[in-house]
Amino acid sequence: MSNWHQSYARLQEYISQHPEIEITINGSCIPGEVREEFFRLFDVVRSDFVREAFPAQLKEAEVAGRAFLAAEKEAISCLKLKEVKIEQNLRWFLQDPVDGLRRRLFDPLFDLLRGALDAEGFEKTSTRIAEDLIQRYAHRSYAHWATLSLIPLLSPDSAHVVPIKDETIDPYLTTEGRQGRFTETIPDLATPEWLFLDASQYVPLLVPKIICHSAMLDTFVALRNGFHSVDYHAYELFKTIKTKQWHDLEDLRRRYGPHHLWPDIGLYLDSNPDELRIVADYQHALWPEIIVDVMEAPDWYESGGLEIVRLHYEVLRPRLGSFVVYREALPETAIPQGSQAQATETGDEMAPAPEEDTTTRLLRELPESIHLLSVGYDSTRLGPIIEALAKSRPGPKQSAG
């Protein structure tokens, strides 16, 4: 008998010993005098199932959590913030992966107790829920780690935020056909107290998560993660932001479709922080200096990751190039001989290319401006991104054509 079955048997025994506990298909009643012990046993069942079903994933999550918390602490220190804010469910997962996963198994276990599921149904339902959470949390936690880890490398000596209002409860944003019909004023800069890595999908404009002055680069750097489309036009955009270069999002949507346009991280430079107050509105997206795609899955290069990287590069055409930050080094069999990828992974001299499979060919055919970084959780390996920024300063406005 598995651990979770044993702990479930103890929970059932406790319920049978306390007939005042009523759990039926129509509802439940757990009196106060038995509630604490009931839910202690209830939590043990969920925890045992998670530990038993996902041992390898939990170990990876523990590593991710330690890395995130360390990067968060350093970013808070160098920006003099009160807190980094992320979705509470993700924080629970990073602080305690077992606790973060078991919380979402509350309903399946009650369904098992009331007979709506049998043991096999509980396992299937809980496994599906947990696998989905692990996949989403793994990507977001690694992207958040990379975002936070870039900040100290910039040697920031001051910082700003753009306090955009949250329109979550605005009924216009939940009504079809409203996109692009309204305008929103671009807010002025403010002194940051918090860094919001996870934000509402309903803000009217997309603004940087942080704008910091880099002592190393002697210019301002705006950083954005968590891209998504917005529904408002920026009021008098070209009168308010006078020097920047923009992508026409309507043209990009027409050419590439409405989905998968955005990378994980965008970096933007200017000597004037006021010029960096907006990243995108309904129709325009700020031309990035650098974009970063973050790949946490070991097989990212075989499961569509290369196509996504190429698409983001083609769509946004970052002025200083694109970087792919990934957690696990590429296997030698996947690295094309004589390629930029091989030089990044191994440092070897270029050699003639042998017969290669499709993945190897796609890696070899990546544009030279797409740089592969095998980083793991070593923030110093993000250095080439900062070095690329250092090679350029904001220049004159260029044609978007």
Q: Report which of 139, 127, 131 is spatially closest to residue 64, judged by C-alpha positions.
A: 139
CA atoms lying within 13 Å on the CB side of residue 30: 15
Cα 378 off chain centre by? 18
d(CA 352, CA 393): 37
Who wins on pLDDT, 139 or 337?
139
What is the enclosing helix (H) or strand (E) of 99? helix 97-102
Q: Tell me the pLDDT of the chain averaged across its residues.
A: 89
d(CA 192, CA 159): 7
Token duo for residue 130: 């947990």
Query: Percent of the chain having pLDDT more than 70?
Result: 88
Q: What is the pLDDT of residues 328-375, one digit of tens each?
A: 988 776 666 555 555 455 555 544 555 556 677 778 888 899 999 999
Least confident of 49-63, 189-203, 278-292, 385-399: 385-399
The pLDDT score that the predictor gives to residue 401 is 34
Q: Is the pLDDT of residue 30 over 90?
A: yes
The residues spanned by each domain of the chain are: 3-141, 154-327+375-390
The pLDDT score that the predictor gives to residue 392 is 76
The pLDDT score that the predictor gives to residue 314 is 95
**Mean pLDDT of the region 229-255:** 94
The pLDDT score that the predictor gives to residue 70 is 97
Amino acid at 77: S
pTM comes to: 0.88
Output the CA–CA distances (angstroms, integers) from residue 328 to 154, 225, 235, 301, in the order listed. Answer: 24, 22, 44, 11
Q: Is the pLDDT of residue 398 over 80?
A: no
β partners of residue 326: 295, 374
β partners of residue 194: 83
- Give the confidence band of 26 by pLDDT, cuts at 50, 70, 90: confident
Who wins on pLDDT, 334 or 289?
289
SS (H, E, C) 228-276: CCCCEEECCHHHHCCCCCEEEHHHHHHHHCCCCCCCCEEEEEECCHHHH
Q: Is 290 helix (H, G, I), strand (E, B) or coil?
A: strand
- Give the confidence band of 169 by pLDDT, cuts at 50, 70, 90: low
The pLDDT score that the predictor gives to residue 178 is 62
DSSP 175: S
The pLDDT score that the predictor gives to residue 181 is 76
DSSP 161: B
d(CA 200, CA 196): 10
Q: What is the pLDDT of residues 209-230, one digit of tens each?
A: 999 999 999 999 999 999 999 9
Contact at 8 Å (CB) between 163 and 213? no
Q: Report which of 291, 374, 290 is spatially closest to residue 330, judged by C-alpha positions.
A: 374
The pLDDT score that the predictor gives to residue 334 is 65
Q: Report which of 157, 169, 167, 182 is spatially closest to residue 79, judged by C-alpha positions.
A: 157
Pairing label, strands 370-374, 322-326: parallel
The pLDDT score that the predictor gives to residue 1 is 58
